[in-house]
Amino acid sequence: MKNQTVRVRYAPSPTGEQHIGGVRTALFNYLFARHTGGHLVLRVEDTDVTRSERRYEQSLYHDLRWLGLNWDEGPDVGGPYGPYRQSERGELYREAVMRLLDAGQAYLCYCAPEELHAERRRAIAEGRPPRYSGRCRDPQVRRELARRGGRPLVRYATPGDETLQVDDLVRGQVTFSGGDLGDFAIYRADDDTLSGGQALYNLAVVVDDHAMKITHVLRGEEHLPNTPRQMLLYRALGYETPAFGHLSLILAPDGHKMSKRQGDTSIAHYRREGYLPETLLAYIATLGKAPGRDPERLGLDELVERFDLHHLSASPSIYDPRRLEAFNRRRIRSEDIESLGQRLRPRLEEAYGCWERAADTAHSAETWYHILVEAVREEAVTLQDMVEISAFAYVSRVTDWTAEAHEAMADEWAPKVLEHCRTTLTEDALRTPLTANEFFREMRHHFRDTAGIRGRLVMFPIRAALTGTLKGPCLGMVTSLLGRRRCIERIEDVLA
């Protein structure tokens, strides 16, 4: 396949939201395809009819496009090798099964599910690989069991004495014994005639990858045990085998397998919380490969340029939510104000019904908004944090104070500080954040020289009265954003 155009695929099942692990697979396939000038195919593996839902397929499209991971072929965009939903490719699977049956490389199995379960339990208890015994290979046994009725399975007749070698693009050579595989199921038939039925995973992906001319299969390590089975099916059907690469496991911070107990790691969750798509891609790109220099600053084009299969690691990666937060915090702080403001604006409109409150201030709407974005981003990890920190600028009155704010306003000097601020604060002082800062500098000097009190004893009561908290943007920005009228109203509310 050296001279062929690279064709890779991302093939999720629409049974839930997209999570970090699945998107890592999508990202690495995207980067490899774009780096090599190849094609990315999106295939929806929806043969699990009891769990697959079209709404999850739609959220898949939304998540990937939000991240900027566009595909060249897929259910929604079409392509020369469709259809791209497995539920629409049943006849292709049936034809492949009939070929294997006719060639004597597969057979019908009539063993009841409870018999198979008991056989598996015995093998595990005796320390043997839990594989099928091959009982129905015997035609006489098949005929006897067929009389009981029931839906038969089609099993591939695995050569038991063969060693299979996978030249994995990530792990190097991995060997498997055919004797450990057993005769694995490839199709669940409705009846003896195979007039209807459902292809099982290993057969469906082989048929699809061949039909869609996939040259490289990059997927998670959990699929490695399936690879020798698929290699056998490629050979039995006369198909060329693609190159395989199995990406490392992603573990939770405690070193165990990721689970819901570690929190929501869905892309929809990160989008709701206000993580930037560039941050997620930059962070996910570090899971399973050498991160390089300043990984949090890399955009998608740079990730494409730097991608190298030889840099992928077989060692497990640790998902670290704190590192992801650090990535997002740094990107929010370095983002162009105009661009960051555009991302934030819809969230503010949803939360507060408007994106600016420049009335009664010295600023135009655009200038006011730029000051706000600059003010709140320094304390924020996500866009949603920015919305919450911005609350002081949008609410008409402060009606809720933190315990620390209450304590600051209860200080014996607080009434004098607030009264001084109320009587000396002018429109001109709030013309810009710089002039507001100068006003408060002079106010600190006044109380230092006349009363001997310093710093927080002066500033904390004012901040508490204006915002309800002792944390947040610098006081010059806060007061410049509020304007004199709202500042005075809030101080008077506390003094009343």
CATH of the domain at 174: 3.90.800.10
pLDDT in tens, 232-246: 999 999 999 999 999
Q: How far apart are CA 360 and CA 381, in angstroms?
A: 30
- Domain endpoint, select from 323, 354, 387: 323
Tell me whether residue 93 is in a domain: yes
Helix (H, G, I), strand (E, B) or coil at 428: helix
pLDDT in tens, 372-425: 999 999 999 999 999 999 999 999 999 999 999 999 999 999 999 999 999 999
DSSP assignments along 245-294, one per residue? EEEPPEE-TTSSBP-GGG---BHHHHHHHT--HHHHHHHHTTTTB---SS
Residues 350 and 430 in one domain: yes
The CATH number of residue 351's host domain is 1.10.10.350
What single letter denotes the amino acid at residue 311? H
Tell me whether residue 79 is in a domain: no
Tell me whether residue 411 is in a domain: yes
Tell me whether residue 219 is in a domain: no
Q: How far apart are CA 490 and CA 486, in angstroms?
A: 6
- Domain endpoint, select from 141, 175, 208: 208
| Neighbouring C-alpha atoms within 13 Å toward the C-beta of 416 | 12
Give how far Cα 261 sits from Cα of 4, 115, 253, 264, 273, Å: 44, 35, 11, 8, 18
Q: What is the mean pLDDT of residues 55-62?
A: 96
Q: Which of 257, 260, 289, 471 is catalytic?
A: 260
Tell me whether residue 389 is in a domain: yes
β partners of residue 185: 155
Residues 266 and 377 in one domain: no
Q: How far apart are CA 171 and CA 180, in angstroms?
A: 20
Q: What DSSP character marks residue 226?
A: G
Tell me whether residue 226 is in a domain: no
Torsion angle in degrees (nearest 10) through CA of 293, 299, 301, 304: 50
Confidence of residue 283 (pLDDT cuts 50, 70, 90): very high
pLDDT at 454: 83
Does residue 2 have a pLDDT over 70? no
pLDDT in tens, 330-372: 999 999 999 999 999 999 999 999 999 999 899 999 999 999 9
pLDDT at 191: 87
Confidence of residue 1 (pLDDT cuts 50, 70, 90): low
- Checking DSSP bridges between strand 216-220 and strand 317-318, what pairing results, if any? unpaired
- Omega before 83 within 30 of 0, i.e. cis: yes
- Domain endpoint, select from 208, 240, 262: 208
Residues 301 and 349 in one domain: no
Helix (H, G, I), strand (E, B) or coil at 153: strand
In the chain the first and final C-alpha atoms are separated, in Å, by: 81
The candidate with the shortest Cα–Cα distance to 408, out of 465, 455, 479, 485, is: 465
Residues 270 and 401 in one domain: no
Residues 177 and 97 in one domain: yes
pLDDT at 150: 83
The candidate with the shortest Cα–Cα distance to 219, out of 243, 247, 248, is: 247
Find the largest Cα–Cα distance for the chain: 107
The CATH number of residue 56's host domain is 3.40.50.620
Residues 372 and 476 in one domain: yes
- The set of residues, in sequence order, having a beta carbon less than 8 Å from that of 450 and lying 6+ positions away, is none
Active site residue 260: yes
Tell me whether residue 215 is in a domain: no
Number of folded domains in the chain? 3
- Give the pTM: 0.92
- Checking DSSP bridges between strand 185-189 and strand 197-199, what pairing results, if any? antiparallel
Tell me whether residue 352 is in a domain: yes
Residues 372 and 477 in one domain: yes
Confidence of residue 50 (pLDDT cuts 50, 70, 90): confident
Residue 201's domain comprises 89-208
pLDDT at 127: 86
Residues 189 and 298 in one domain: no
Q: How far apart are CA 443 and CA 440, in angstroms?
A: 5
Residues 57 and 150 in one domain: no
Residues 486 and 342 in one domain: yes
Residues 401 and 465 in one domain: yes
Residues 377 and 296 in one domain: no
- The set of residues, in sequence order, having a beta carbon less than 8 Å from that of 311 and lying 6+ positions away, is 289, 290
